[in-house]
Amino acid sequence: MTPDQKAFIHRDCSEILDGKYENLQALRGQKILVTGGTGFLGTWITMMVSFLNDFYEFGTRLDLLSTHANTFTKKQPHLADRADVTVIEQDVRYISEIGEDVNWIIHAASSPDSRLHASDPLHTVDVISNGTSSLLTAASRLPNLKKVLNVSSGLVYGSQSRELERITEDSWGFLDPASVSAVYAEAKRYAETLCAAYRNHYRMPIVTARPFAFIGPHQLLDKPWAINNFLRDALTGGPIRILGDEKTVRSYLYASDMAFWLLRILVDGKNGQCFNVGSPHYISLAELAEKIASKIPQGIEVTMPIIRKPSRARSRFVPDVSLAETILGLHQTVGLDDAIGRTLLWNRLNSKS
């Protein structure tokens, strides 16, 4: 990581933790296991905890469990080589033991990439269902377990009605279990049910987060999501291409907010609670593309498909985060304009490193 990148991440972490780090005091001197620990979410959790250790002397240790541990060690040595971070090459489906010194678990071992769900649906289901079962069985034997955070997905709600402005934690739309496109969402639903069973049988403390859409450094621009594609198009000189329905509606939470929200839910979420994690401020794809284009000084074009897809392709995916706001005092601190500017800058810096 270059000095400019270090300064960039330092700014993001210090901004969100200033005056709020005391809400995470329960993590002092503790050990956290993060499954899927080398992905976008795990990387940001690691950076946030590392900042707490470096500037607030938390003394928190991290075990990052991943099937891509070696790649992470090579690409992120500034994190992997830290004394307070241990990177473990391990498939969560086959985990049988967890170190007895682990106090907290963040279970995020699955990919939200829809291309993987379509190309290998059996693997997707297997990782989520059997991975969750193996992890919880091993966790049930821990002598000093404080809590498990199960990272689910906003997709468990099914399709959002166009008449419903935002999805609350008790909103349930249509989801076709006979469709291969539902494998990820159905597997996440099953994982939540497994958590309920382990809470009941083992009295295991488990809280659930349901993530929506995010933006920020370390999120790869080749992912199959509109905002990533728009950012990539902008950085390569345009045009920004809208391939789907331009009236599709999404919202985006910046990565530093995401990491802090997840840590707060881990620490203060009550057993059995579920929280949406995302931005309540929505935008259409057409508006998003224009907003990103406006950040490019030389100006770039936004194009739309000549042949429009039927209106049924249009969708909304926007969370109601009132529960997180009311119970945990969580709020979005980085607006979308700033989030886009920061992510564009990060990727420019990253291309030079």
Q: Is residue 332 part of a domain?
A: yes
Cα angle: 277, vertex 66, 199; to 5 degrees: 55
In sequence order, the 6+-apart residues with CB closer than 8 A to the CB of 240 are 230, 233, 234, 289, 292, 293, 300, 301, 302, 303
pLDDT of 308 strictly over 80 = no
Rg (CA), the chain: 20
Residue 311: its pLDDT value, please? 53
| Structure confidence at residue 304 as a pLDDT band (50, 70, 90) | confident
Judge whether 30 and 101 are in contact, CB under 8 Å: no
The CA distance from 161 to 70, in Å, is 42
Residue 5: its pLDDT value, please? 83
* Side chain identity at residue 81, one-letter code: D
Q: Give bridge partners of residue 346 from the DSSP assignment.
A: none
Q: Is residue 242 part of a domain?
A: yes
The CA distance from 230 to 143, in Å, is 47
Range with the largest mean pLDDT of 73-77, 110-114, 221-225, 279-283: 279-283
Select from 260, 183, 210 the least CA-distant residue to 12: 260
pLDDT digits (tens, 9 = 90+) for 246-289: 999 999 999 999 999 999 999 999 999 999 999 999 999 999 99
Range with the largest mean pLDDT of 67-76, 242-251, 327-336, 344-353: 327-336
195 alpha-carbon distance from chain centroid: 19
Q: Is residue 15 part of a domain?
A: no
Q: Is residue 168 part of a domain?
A: no
- Answer with the residue of higher pLDDT: 243 or 145: 145
Q: What percent of the chain has pLDDT over 70?
A: 97
Judge whether 212 and 154 are in contact, CB under 8 Å: yes
- Answer with the residue of higher pLDDT: 310 or 124: 124
Q: How high does pLDDT run on average in the chain? A: 94
Q: Is residue 154 part of a domain?
A: no
pLDDT of 342 strictly over 90 = yes
| Structure confidence at residue 164 as a pLDDT band (50, 70, 90) | very high
DSSP 178-204: TSGGGHHHHHHHHHHHHHHHHHHHH--
Give pTM, 2 decimals.
0.96
Q: What percent of the chain has pLDDT over 90?
A: 84
| Structure confidence at residue 146 as a pLDDT band (50, 70, 90) | very high
The CA distance from 147 to 11, in Å, is 29
CATH of the domain at 290: 3.90.25.10
In total, how many domains does the chain have? 1
In sequence order, the 6+-apart residues with CB closer than 8 A to the CB of 272 are 196, 199, 206, 207
pLDDT of 242 strictly over 80 = yes
Q: Is residue 298 part of a domain?
A: yes
Q: Which helix (H) or strand (E) holds 62?
A: strand 61-66
Q: Is residue 239 part of a domain?
A: yes
Give residue 303's domain range. 221-251+280-353
pLDDT digits (tens, 9 = 90+) for 20-64: 999 999 999 999 999 999 999 999 999 999 999 999 999 999 999
pLDDT digits (tens, 9 = 90+) for 185-241: 999 999 999 999 999 999 999 999 999 999 999 999 988 899 999 999 999 998 999
The CA distance from 109 to 37, in Å, is 7
Q: Which CA distances in Å does 251 have to 239, 248, 254, 321?
A: 22, 11, 10, 12
The dihedral built from the CA positions of residue 60, 40, 267 and 205, taken in this order, carries a sign that is negative
